[in-house]
Chains A and B, each alone.
Chain A
């Protein structure tokens, strides 16, 4: 499997490690009134789609950047690769 790194171009997936669902970026506000419920959902509830899935990958044997990889879990086709920090900033996650 080849991951097309947004900065470095095509790289073998053996250089990367997998973390999990990209929804991990959307960490709840710990000060919210229902923070306990939100964290329960954040930690334990995951979609398990047969099809397109957005995932966090880490380029451990490369430039050490975190990526959001959109992958089809049925065909393993990789549809899109973005820098996770760009995704996070676009969602207002990074100050």
Chain B
């Protein structure tokens, strides 16, 4: 794995644009986020504690608890399932994060590069509750900052991360269905705003 520079190619976003898409409504903004590198981290059986401590020293803080996400400096991580997390960092500075993370956890964990497998939309503004409750099962009105919920929207499995209850969320879904997920978000927003 190496960094490829000067290839003359221009990356496109999951929605196919050269710039991230932004949709603005009254009291709501839906913004495509393309600048994060992702890697999944799974603890191997019997090495759960070893992975947690190795990851904590790499990330500068503990991995999140079940159904939560946390941030330490440039790193963020969310819980995906038992002994399974997704780690994220700015793509420009951490393009090779998966390899670095693997070095950090060694044989205790399995790491998979995930950057191009997902698309992310950040939803911001006071109308978030109204839109999200039409999109998914998650009990967003009872949620708190730091919640990470795996749920489904538009028949797609997505992660819903809460930054500020009712005000700021990240929705991470499969990149190959970015258009469908974006359509669902915009349609739900149009139906209430």
Point out residues on A near B: beta carbons under 8 Å. Answer: 7-8, 11-12, 14-15, 60-65, 83, 85, 94
B74 to A: closest C-beta gap in Å: 26
Q: Give complex CA distance A15, B139 in Å.
A: 13
Chain B residues with Cβ below 8 Å from A64 are: 80-81, 150
Chain B residues with Cβ below 8 Å from A62 are: 150-151
Chain A residues with Cβ below 8 Å from B79 are: 63
Contact across chains for B150 and A63 when beta carbons are under 8 A apart: yes
B157 to A: closest C-beta gap in Å: 6
Within 8 A of A (CB), among B15-57: 45
Chain B residues with Cβ below 8 Å from A60 are: 157
Within 8 A of A (CB), among B59-86: 66-67, 79-82
Contact across chains for A63 and B157 when beta carbons are under 8 A apart: no
Chain B residues with Cβ below 8 Å from A85 are: 82
A33 to B: closest C-beta gap in Å: 30
8 Å CB contact of A63 from B45, B80, B137, B152? B80
Chain A residues with Cβ below 8 Å from B151 are: 15, 61-62
A62 nearest CB neighbor, chain B only: B150
Q: Give complex CA distance A11, B79 in Å.
A: 17
Known: A8-B67, A14-B137. A65 touches B82 (CB 8 A): yes
Contact across chains for B82 and A15 when beta carbons are under 8 A apart: no
A84 to B: closest C-beta gap in Å: 11
B152 nearest CB neighbor, chain A only: A61
Decide if the interface of chain B is mainly helix, strand, loop or mixed. strand
B156 nearest CB neighbor, chain A only: A61
8 Å CB contact of A8 from B45, B66, B152, B157? B66
Chain A residues with Cβ below 8 Å from B45 are: 94
Contact across chains for B82 and A7 when beta carbons are under 8 A apart: yes
Contact across chains for B66 and A15 when beta carbons are under 8 A apart: no
Q: Give complex CA distance A31, B157 in Å.
A: 39
Contact across chains for B66 and A83 when beta carbons are under 8 A apart: no
List 3 tightest A-B contacts by C-beta distance, closest first: A63-B81, A61-B152, A7-B66
8 Å CB contact of A12 from B81, B82, B137, B157? B137
Contact across chains for B67 and A15 when beta carbons are under 8 A apart: no
Chain A residues with Cβ below 8 Å from B157 are: 60-61
Within 8 A of A (CB), among B156-171: 157
Q: Give complex CA distance A83, B79 in Å.
A: 17
Q: What 1/0 flags go to B2-21 for Cβ under 8 Å of A?
A: 00000000000000000000
Q: Provide a sorted-by-A list of 12 A–B residue pairs whose CB atoms are within 8 angstroms.
A: A7-B66, A7-B82, A8-B66, A8-B67, A15-B151, A61-B137, A61-B152, A63-B79, A63-B80, A64-B81, A65-B82, A94-B45
